[in-house]
Amino acid sequence: MLSGTDRVAMVTGASRGIGRAVADRLVAGGFRVSAGVREPAKFTQTDRIAYFRYDAEEPKSADAWLAATIERFGTVQALANVAGIIRPYTLYTEDDANFDEMWRVNVKAPLRLIRLTLPHLKASGEGRIVNVVSVSGKMLASPVVGYAATKHAMMAVTTAVRRDAWKDGVRATAICPGFVLTDMGAGSTRVAQNDMTKAEDLAEMIHTVLLMPNTAGVPEVIVDCLDQW
């Protein structure tokens, strides 16, 4: 296993939910965390975690966040793409506004962050990318076909970067959870909240994946609270 000590990870969605749990777990594991959030002033900076403005709907904010991270920490060894949204969009929805928003936030933004951070991840020789996808990237888990399409796309993105950057020591993992008890998960009535996966348990898995050595690449991890595999 690699050591988390002083490794630098950029984490999106760190304001709440799964991203918050990931940021907390990484800090506890000795990482230094650069948290990308829409309202950084709301959070307390420490020597282990810095908050920078990042809005997935504003591509330039990704460039600025990376530049600020390098200025603050000097390097980036890991990227955790966690931020994501779900909006109503079925096979029969004619208005594409929700679909377009999901593409921007769930696919185009994390892909852009991967592209921007890759030179740093490659330079480290042990770069890590974790994309929080969903079981909806593996199957059509609900009628929200637009969400599933973006998550299937992120499976492709994860495979693409793994193949491209493997020789440079970068390992990319798709994390595919079912229902997780967060603001997003709590919106579902299919599973009782007590039976949903806890964000902290998912964060534990992500922390472990980030510390796997180059000789133990992890293409994907399915973490589910349902017996559907």
Ligand X SMILES: NC(=O)c1ccc[n+]([C@@H]2O[C@H](COP(=O)([O-])OP(=O)(O)OC[C@H]3O[C@@H](n4cnc5c(N)ncnc54)[C@H](OP(=O)(O)O)[C@@H]3O)[C@@H](O)[C@H]2O)c1
| Interacting residues toward ligand X by CB under 6 A | 12-13, 15-19, 38, 54-57, 82-85, 105, 132, 134, 177, 179-180, 182-185
For ligand X, the closer of residues 6 and 39 by Cβ is 39
CB of 160 to ligand X, least distance (A): 18
CB of 227 to ligand X, least distance (A): 16
Give me 8's structure tokens.
């630098």
- Which one-letter amino acid corresponds to residue 138? K
For ligand X, the closer of residues 21 and 126 by Cβ is 21
For ligand X, the closer of residues 17 and 29 by Cβ is 17
Neighbours of 162 (CB within 10 A): 19
The catalytic position among 51, 54, 89, 147 is 147
**Which single residue brings its beta carbon nearest to ligand X?**
84
Annotation says 92 is catalytic? no
119 to 22, 63, 134, 162, 185: CA distances (angstroms): 23, 13, 27, 14, 34
> Residue 3: which region, alpha, beta or left (left: phi > 0; alpha: psi -120 to 50)?
beta
CB of 169 to ligand X, least distance (A): 26
For ligand X, the closer of residues 170 and 181 by Cβ is 181
CA distance 199 to 207: 12
CB of 105 to ligand X, least distance (A): 5
**Centroid of chain to Cα 179:** 16
For ligand X, the closer of residues 16 and 72 by Cβ is 16
Residue 115 DSSP one-character state? H
Classify residue 152 by burial, with Cβ atoms within 10 Å: 0-12, 13-18, 19+.
middle
Side-chain half-sphere of 12: how many Cα atoms within 13 Å? 30
CB of 63 to ligand X, least distance (A): 14
Active site residues: 147
